Amino acid sequence: MESLHQKKFALAAGLTSVVIYLGCFLIMAILGKDSLVKLSNLLFHGMDFSNIIRMNIPIGETALGAIVSFVFWGATGYLISFVYNSFK
């Protein structure tokens, strides 16, 4: 069984989360609220997002969210690779 390089896996997980986070930001900017509500309701059947979607998110909050996402998912990726390597 091959072992995972923990730092590389953590970096890959963190960067992937930032791409997804910024992709969501871009989708919000392109679609507008009405289309975004329809898309969200379609993806999460049975839920109504019309009252909880906030469109006026400052760029600083977006940047902070991307950083927090990177740290959280990077740490998660590190932990996953650590556990995986422990089972060798």
Tens-place pLDDT, residues 4-44: 999 999 999 999 999 999 999 999 999 999 999 999 999 99
The count of domains in the chain is 1
1 located within any domain = no
- Asked if residue 30 is part of any domain, the answer here is yes
Residue 79 is predicted with a pLDDT of 98
CB 9, CB 88: distance < 8 Å:
no
Question: Is 10 within a domain?
Answer: yes
Q: Is residue 50 part of a domain?
A: yes
- pTM for the whole thing? 0.85
80 pLDDT above the threshold of 90: yes
Q: Report yes or no on 62 lying in a domain.
A: yes
| Alpha-carbon separation of residue 8 from 43, 61, 70, 78 (angstroms) | 31, 27, 13, 8
Is 65 within a domain? yes
Is residue 42 a part of any domain in this protein?
Answer: yes
- pLDDT of residue 78 exceeding 90, the answer is yes
Evaluate if residue 77 carries a pLDDT over 80.
yes
- Domain membership of residue 50 as a residue range: 6-86
